[in-house]
Structure formats: structure tokens, C-alpha cells
Amino acid sequence: MSELRRLRYFLAVAEERNFTRAAERLHIAQPALSRQVRELERELGVELLLRTTHKVEPTEAGRMLLERGPALLEAADSLWHGVRAFADGRMGSVSLGYGMSAGYETAPQLLLAMGEEAPGIEVSARVMAFADIIDSVAAGTLDVGLVRSAQPEALPDDVELTLLRRERQGVVISSEHPLAAAGADSVDPAALDGLKLLLHPRTHNPGHYDEIMEICARAGARPEVLYRGLDFDASYTPVASGAAVTMVGYSGRIGLPSGLLWLPVTPAAYIEVHLVTRRENRSPAVARLLRVAEQTSRQHGWLTGALEEPSATGVKDRRTLGLEAADIGAIDGAYEV
């Protein structure tokens, strides 16, 4: 079985019923075309065209080729375009692992954006522990990770960080808690001194643990650390009872059990959220996801942090949040769910 070029040549001649015009259409000289068609006939062992000096018409075999040939060329074209779709990241699949902390806003927003911008890419997302994310990305079994407080110096050489979001931190407290009294719309970390602070064990994500503690230390506060499991809702029980407080990023205000408030810490403190990828795994689909993530970050102002400041008026605005970007952009201050 031969190649497709000669089939294309033959089809041009058979359609035009004229070698000279077909040659022009193909942008080659007529003699070359003449020989290629002749060569095709030789290798097939069939006469495809009956030529006189003034007429060209296909034989029966030629008519069959003329009928079925275009479909073959289209099939080839379609295959080629399909493959190219992978090349430029229109198609593909990416696995994404993220911590619970990103599960309420950052990851969903990213997935929504991928659905809009790159519907051909299948993103299989799942919640994973911080250490698992890093290890899986390093091992190549996970394409992209989404983590907070990643410490570049603590990572394998071949994984790469892309800053996605700088997220203002806040405390989560019961609305009955003294810190929430008098309609306060922020909390000074100094006020956490001596309070019970609910955190994941340091081993889970040492960098994050240290950053939280540093925020307190900067204000001179030494909270008593209480360890929580990886189960978000159940872990809030001590907070809901007023026995403890916890500290999460701005996006953590979403999905809080009712009766809990998120109040930003003042002076403002930020935690960074990164995408983690492996340097070698620069598949088009992964690259596409990084581009979409960058765009999403810009659209939502995730790096400026402007939207996370208390409003200039200082009005206390308590309401329930959906995930709509417009809502989120308009909100600041304290939130009750």
C-alpha cells in the first residue's frame, strides 16, 4: 500500500479531468503530475484514467477510487487534526490534587475556568493530603498539585511552584465568642494569646504550621495549639462550642458550619497558594491548565488581594455566600454562614 500523495494527485486529475489544470491546483508542474499518476497506476496494476490528448476520463477502477478516495483523505485529515488538538492543549487530560483548604473556592473556580476555556481537557481532580500531593507530583503520578505554604527549599529539584493566590488569613470563631462581640470586623492576632488554636499537626504541612504560628508570634501571641484531623466539618466542633478558634484563608469562609464567623486578622497577614508541577511534565494539557490558572488568578485578583480587604466604609456585612465570582468580588469584612 502506497502513500497518500499520489491518491491526492490522482483525485485532482480525476476531478478536473485535466492534467494541466490539476497540476496548477496542486502547485506542481504538469509533467510531474503526469508521472505520479502513471506511477500510481503502475503500482496498483490498474489503469485509472483513459487519456487522449484532449480528454481524460476515469476507468471503472478510477471511478471507484474517485468515489472512495476523498473519504480516506478526510479520515487522515481528521486524525491529523485530532492529534494536533493534543499538541496545542485543546485536548488532553490532567490530574489535579488539592488540599481541603483549596476545596471551597480556589479549586472549584479553577475547574470552572477549565470547563470554560478548555472543554476538551478532562481534569480529574481529587482532594489529597499535602505530602501526598508533593510526592505524587514528584513521582509523576499526579500532574498538578494545589497547595498552600509550599516551601521551595523543602521540595524536590524537579518540581516547580507557580504562585496562584495570596490569601488573607482570618480567624474562624463562634459568633458568640468574645472576639466577635460588639460587631468586630477583624481580629488582632495578639488577641489569640493563650487561646486554644485548632491546627493540623505540624507534620502534615510544616511550612503552613510555621507560617500560622509566625503570624501569632509577630503579634506577641502564644496560642495553645490543638490538633485537628483532616476532616473539615467534624474538626470545627471545638470552634463551634467556643472552646477554640482556628485560622484559615479568606476562601475558608465558604462552607463554614452555621454559627461560625470568619474575621480577617489585622494587621493583614497572607498565605501563598501555589500550583505544583513537575518540570519534565510540560504536556500541552498541563501547560494549558497553567495558563488558565494564571488567567483565573488575574480575573479574581487572587494576587493583588485587593478584594480581601475590609471595605473603606468598614460596614459590617454578614451574609451567606455562594460561589459566584461577582458576589465574592463584592464582599469583605466578616462572614457568617
- Binding of a copy of itself at residue 158 (CB under 8 A)? no
Nearest to 88 by CA among 111, 125, 118: 118
- Binding of DNA at residue 138 (CB under 7 A)? no
CA distances from 221 to 149, 189, 311 (A): 21, 7, 26
Q: Which is nearer to a copy of itself, 266 or 283 (CB)?
A: 283
- Binding of a copy of itself at residue 29 (CB under 8 A)? no
Q: Which is nearer to a copy of itself, 26 or 285 (CB)?
A: 285
Work out which of 17, 35, 39, 82 binds a copy of itself, going by CB under 8 A: 82
- Binding of DNA at residue 236 (CB under 7 A)? no
- Binding of a copy of itself at residue 45 (CB under 8 A)? yes
Work out which of 29, 32, 87, 131 binds a copy of itself, going by CB under 8 A: 87
CB of 7 to a copy of itself, least distance (A): 8
Site for a copy of itself in 270-299 (CB under 8 A): 283-285
- Binding of DNA at residue 116 (CB under 7 A)? no
Q: Site mask, DNA, residues 6-35, x = CB under 7 A?
A: x-----------xxx------xxxxxx-xx
- Binding of a copy of itself at residue 72 (CB under 8 A)? yes
Q: Using CB under 7 A, list all residues that contact DNA.
A: 3, 5-6, 18-20, 27-32, 34-39, 51-54, 56
**What residues line the site for a copy of itself (CB under 8 A)?**
1-5, 44-46, 48, 59-61, 64-65, 68-69, 71-73, 75-77, 79-80, 82-84, 86-88, 91-93, 283-285
